[in-house]
Homo-oligomer: A and B are copies of this chain.
Amino acid sequence: MRLKTKNLNWFAGRPVVILGEIASKKLNIHVDEKIYVRHAGRKIFAVVDIFQGLVKANEIGLSKEISSRLGNKEGEQVDIESANLFEGARLIRKKIEGGELNAEELKIIVTEITNNNLTEAELAFFLSAEKLVGMTTKETIALTEAMISTGRKLDFGREIVADKHCIGGIAGNRTTPIVVSICAAAGLIMPKNSSRAITSAAGTADVIETLAKVELSGEEIKKVVGKAGACLVWNGALNLSPSDDKLIHVERLLNLDVEPQLLASIMSKKIAAGSNRILIDIPYGGGKMKTKRQAKKLGNKFKIIAEHFNVKIKPVYTDGKQPIGNGMGPVLEMIDVLSVLRNDPDCPKDLKEKAILLASEILSLCGIYFTRIKARKILESGKAYEKFKEIINAQNGSKDFDERVTKLKIAKHNKPIYADYYGNLEIGNSKLNELCRILGTPETTSAGIYLHKHNGVVKEGEKIMTLYSESPQRLEEGLKFLKEVEPFKIK
């Protein structure tokens, strides 16, 4: 059936179209049913809402999620047809009932995720099956391959392309901008693309965005990397492993860790981005890995997958007991990064030392010697800071780095938190991340937490942290959370 489109200025958070009651009856299509919308050679999937009065009997209303992908002009005709059967759903059921999926079957599931043919609940079933039924190495490799093949690939035409990734779970911990600046200053090619926040207060992309444009096209990235040797961009706009973003969105509902998905997610994005020397930072003792043994087991799985794809990988096992750095939230983390790069005397030492360690491991993975000394020298001499400026200016296409830095602003409402008594302070990671989200991060870049103390002895009345938010209500909710959930303890 053909219908006239009405492009609605409507962000629904999922692919929805609106039909009136007459059209839905004529088409024998019901609320929440799945349909295909066809226009100009494109065929995309949508769920039906019935909204009497908003559209005429011969019209279909399109949410922004649909019209942006369909590329139709208002008033153009589309064809719609019912879309009952999704092979993907049947295969997810096979997996959740204990089956093993082959490469072809995983490709079908990943393709349907990429095409938006599966609901979030179906993705949740798939993730649960991955986590609880588990996946063989063969399945994880096939999943990785499927995720790469359904997206775009980058190619920098260089023999050695370096990359780094942290499996996450540690609050703050914004080493990437520092590490990339050191490595690029040492002459490596490091086209770093990062995610936005998944379960944390900010992702690297959110932090960089406080100073620079991060949504660059593949062509723009090549230009920046050609100029500065490195970039610090958001991966979401690049369409590398596009199914990954949808799966991450669902994992995030419960802040769930699903190991096969973690492996496939990281490896598919790195390989699609053209990297072949990859450092994986695996913190343990807090965050996602409880013990060093558990961390090493995961590291070995990375190695097996990397071998299959012919890339060199180096897992580094780091301290995950507490947050790294003082700031949490996009602007507050950028302030930390700048203070380390500028060698401010009161910069967070833990962040600095970790960045030097990771940079030196990457340098040695790329065949360079005496890397620990070299990495420190590059940072302390200010060369890394110059490289960072160069990258930011290249991404912005302008030389206004200093001006942008002066415009960084922390949220206007704040509340300092003091120690109630003398004792040993213990700060958790995940609960601080939750607290930041209540305060408004990552959407509100100026919000978050600044730590005045790390784990160790505190005196009564000492300032432990300051909460920042643009909304007094969210600040109130943050204080309530602080009381109820206790993201830190004094013992």
Contact = CB atoms under 8 A, between A and B. Distances in A.
A437 interface: yes
B96 A9 contact: no
B9 A474 contact: no
Contact of A122 (B31, B50, B132, B254): B254
Interface in A190-239: none
A444 B28 contact: yes
A134 to B, nearest CB: 10
Interface in A51-86: 51-54, 81-82, 84-85
Contact of A473 (B47, B81, B120, B434): B81
Interface residues of A, number: 58
A411 to B, nearest CB: 11
Interface string A435-474: 0011010011000000000000000000000000011011
Q: How many copies does the complex hold?
A: 2
A254 B125 contact: yes
Nearest to A252: B121
Contacts of A444: 28
Interface stretch (A10-18, A394-402, A418-426): A10-18
A49 interface: yes
A8 interface: yes
Interface in A462-491: 470-471, 473-474, 477, 481
A125 B253 contact: yes
Contacts of A124: 120-122, 124-125, 128
Contacts of A89: 253-254
13 contacts: A9-B54, A10-B49, A10-B51, A11-B50, A28-B440, A28-B470, A82-B477, A84-B438, A90-B254, A93-B255, A120-B124, A122-B254, A132-B132
Given A28-B440, A30-B443, A119-B253, 7 more contacts: A10-B52, A12-B31, A13-B49, A82-B473, A119-B121, A121-B250, A125-B256
